[in-house]
Amino acid sequence: MGFLHEGHLSLIRESKKRCDLTVVSIFVNPTQFGPSEDFTSYPRDEERDTNLLENEKVDYLFLPSPDEIYPKNFQTYINVEYVAKNLEGEFRPTHFRGVATVVLILFNCVQPDYAFFGQKDAQQLAVIKQMVKDLKLDVQIIGCPIVRESDGLAMSSRNIYLSASERKDALVLYQSLNLAIKMIASGKRKVSVILSDMMQLFLAIPPAQVDYIKIVDADTFNLVDDLIEGREYLVLIACRIGKTRLIDNMKIIV
């Protein structure tokens, strides 16, 4: 959605490694924002983004207008059912309908062989993979690692909203994920115990308002109660620091 940072640029670099041509789309998608969310204030800087893409030697920039994507009397939306229901789907009920719809439209416009998405939006990545599988789309989805600041904060266009003190408080997301990793490495397998200790870190940060901290099966996004040896999981967080909503996650193999 633009206002590019190193996380976005890492996707571009991966594309250039694998592909003959790289197309970047920038489109702040109105249908994935709820009524009280930050669509109008979402950071935009087309000139800055264009310069960054030129520096990365991107072949094409696809910069459609809202009327091109959603012409008058637009009526067709994509609903991915189960994987979209919990977590972000609970707190942002129309979000994934907007995401799946716009991604399918962009795929139809560009006809890519590969598409690259960041792991930071882990549930979004799962939704897109499910849509591609179910609708038999001829595109391979590549998930790319989270890119972090030197202190561990996951890069996000919304980080610009944070004040200096909020920026410091936001590190609690990364710190709590590391706590979970340490607990699991030490043998903890009861999810409720892990989540309780993570929550204690957030309770010590007054501006932090947690939407959810969950551990899910990495393949199905099912919530789990106990961790099983040899299985892969995701620890996921959504939290508001002041008025800024941030998400983060880590993948773990027990």
Q: Which of 2, 3, 8, 216 is an active site residue?
A: 8
8 flagged as catalytic: yes
CA–CA gap between residue 177 and residue 197 (Å, rounded): 11
Both tokens of residue 91? 């707190």
**Rounded to the nearest 5°, which phi and psi values hold at 116?**
-115, 125
CA–CA gap between residue 234 and residue 77 (Å, rounded): 28
Both tokens of residue 69? 């994507």
> Would you name the residues annotated as active-site residues?
8
